[in-house]
Homo-oligomer: A and B are copies of this chain.
């Protein structure tokens, strides 16, 4: 049966402004897709639909996280005093090795998915580890929760500890097993070479071939810091830029592609990203914590690149994509402070990046326009709304001041996603 939700509805059809429907209505069909959204019930096609009234609450599109490392969940918020190399060697790699143990993986991955849920993230692009079994487990946990995810078994076979290196053959075998597992569900797999330095040309070639053969999307890291860029230039001397090192293996937009960070992309690389429709996963907290730098997102938007937001746990310390919006705006204000020709990101632009722009990687996700999948959050902001704020001020206050406490309902593809009380989400 169709359903109609009544609430204060806010979303960003265009990045330049919020659509705001005070006491508006949104009709959703049996497939979980939006039929229509309107200020009054009469102008909506909801014959015989059940009406669910959320009163004075805010109804907004759910969050999308375009870059997050699930197996680094335990390391969230620790070891921030370390430089990149000791951090990888002493914290990240040893932790990822533990995911050979599926019991450990299950315990941690359930917590991870629960916390994505808490913060209202209904779709994610996730790095797992090299381990096929625990990656399958993570996919199943998302499936069980009813949350959308593209989960990547990580490809890596050089410049990493032995316990995290896998042969190309074994990688292909594992990917093919995972890929066939999922049909039309909310969960799928994604080709995930960790990044150029940890992948031999053979591994990159295998990744590109799998992507082409099965038309699978791709995710990796790009131009996060300057030492890394220099290293890639050494490893792949024939590439014209870091991005080209992926491009030469069919991993740069030949199928839908997300590249995380892009702090230092310019010239050729940006051109190539634009031509190939490669999407940027902007991870501002991580870029601060790992001392990478501040990605020039206004410049990328001006050049026509697609941009979404990512938490990048555990380089990033915060799972909330709302908090990423705040950081993205703040980073853009530092670019603006240096160059007034780069206007800072507005609230609606940051919101649009986290919803409609990022959501586009998952299909028609991230807006409330007709035909979009109904991924939504209901925000009860009474405790932040003590003085008759406008709806625009209320969403701004929620984004800046709110947290998981104010999220009282979560929907993914039309279905309410409820936290299980049982084993699943302990």
Q: Closest residue of chain B to A386, judged by CB?
A: B111
- Asked whether, in the complex, the Cβ of A333 is within 8 Å of the Cβ of B289, the reply is yes
Q: Does A173 lie at the interface of the complex (its beta carbon under 8 Å from any beta carbon of B)?
A: no
How many angstroms from the CA of A80 to the CA of B336 in the assembled complex?
A: 14
Q: Is A157 close to B, CB under 8 A?
A: no
- Asked whether, in the complex, the Cβ of B78 is within 8 Å of the Cβ of A334, the reply is no
User: Which of B74, B80, B333 lies in contact with A396, CB distance below 8 A?
Assistant: B80
Query: Is A294 engaged at the interface, CB distance under 8 Å to the other chain?
Result: yes
| CB pair A293 B337 closer than 8 Å | yes
Are B76 and A333 neighbours in the complex by a CB distance under 8 Å? no
User: How many of these chains are in the complex?
Assistant: 2
A244 at the interface (CB under 8 A from B): no
Q: Would you call A14 an interface residue if the criterion is a C-beta within 8 Å of the partner chain's C-beta atoms? A: no
Choose one: B78, B326, B334, B396; the contact of A291 (CB below 8 Å): B334
Number of interface residues of A (CB under 8 A): 40
Q: Across the interface, name the chain B residue whose C-beta is closest to A316.
A: B400
How far, in Å, is A424 (CB) from chain B's closest CB?
16
Contact B76 A336, beta carbon cutoff 8 Å: no
Q: Flag if A318 contacts B401 (CB, 8 Å).
A: yes
In the assembled complex, the CB of A100 is this many whole angstroms from the nearest CB of chain B, namely 17
Q: A102 in the interface, Cβ–Cβ < 8 Å?
A: no
Bitwise, A377-416 to B at CB < 8 A (1) or not (0) is 0000000101101000100110111010000000000000
A3 to chain B, nearest CB (A): 32
Is B77 in contact with A294, judged by CB distance below 8 angstroms?
A: no
Q: Which residues of B contact A399 (CB under 8 A)?
A: 77
For the complex, give the distance between the alpha carbons of A326 and B294 in Å. 16
Contacts of A344 in B (CB 8 A): 291
- Whole-angstrom distance from the CB of A199 to the nearest CB of chain B? 26
A401 pairs with B80, CB closer than 8 A:
no
In the complex, which residues 107-162 of chain A have their Cβ closer than 8 Å to any Cβ of chain B?
A: 108, 111
By a CB distance below 8 angstroms, the chain B residues around A81 are 346-347
Interface string of A287-329 (1 = CB under 8 A from B): 0111111100000000000000000000001100000001001
- Residues A333 and B78 in contact in the complex (CB < 8 Å), given A317-B400, A400-B317, A401-B318: no
A396 to B291 Cα, complex, angstroms:
18
Question: A163 → chain B, closest Cβ, in Å?
Answer: 20
Interface check A330, CB cutoff 8 A: yes
Pair A80/B317 contact, Cβ less than 8 Å:
no
Which of B108, B317, B329, B396 has a CB less than 8 Å from the CB of A77?
B396
Whether B293 pairs with A80 at a CB distance below 8 angstroms is no
Residue from A293, A336, A387 having most chain B Cβ neighbours under 10 A: A387
Given that A78-B389, A317-B326, A389-B78 are contacting pairs, would A334 and B293 also be in contact in the complex, using a CB cutoff of 8 Å?
yes
Indicate with 1 or 0, residue by residue over A66-82, a CB within 8 angstroms of chain B CB atoms. 00000000101111110
Flag if B389 contacts A291 (CB, 8 Å): no
For the complex, give the distance between the alpha carbons of A334 and B285 in Å: 12
Chain B residues near A292 (CB-CB < 8 A) = 337
A407 to chain B, nearest CB (A): 14
With A and B bound together, what is the CA distance between A78 and B396 in angstroms? 6
CB distance from A82 to the nearest CB of B (A): 10
Contact B397 A78 (CB under 8 A): yes
Residues of B close to A329: CB separation below 8 A: 80
* With A108-B387, A285-B330, A291-B336 already in contact, 4 other A-B pairs whose C-beta atoms are closer than 8 Å: A78-B400, A80-B396, A111-B386, A291-B334
What are 10 A-B contacts with C-beta separation under 8 Å?
A74-B387, A76-B401, A77-B399, A78-B389, A80-B400, A81-B346, A290-B333, A317-B401, A318-B401, A403-B403
